[in-house]
Amino acid sequence: MELKFVLLVDGEIFLTICTDIAIGN
């Protein structure tokens, strides 16, 4: 359960970074 939560948070951060890069470009 805890691992799944960590992966979820990492996924959110990853998507946020990808979105920022896409907007930046």
pLDDT at 21: 94
Q: pLDDT per residue over 1-25, tens digit each? A: 688 888 888 999 999 999 999 998 7
Distances (CA, A) of 9 to 19, 21, 25: 15, 18, 24
Half-sphere exposure of 7 (CA within 13 A, CB side): 4
pLDDT of residue 1: 67
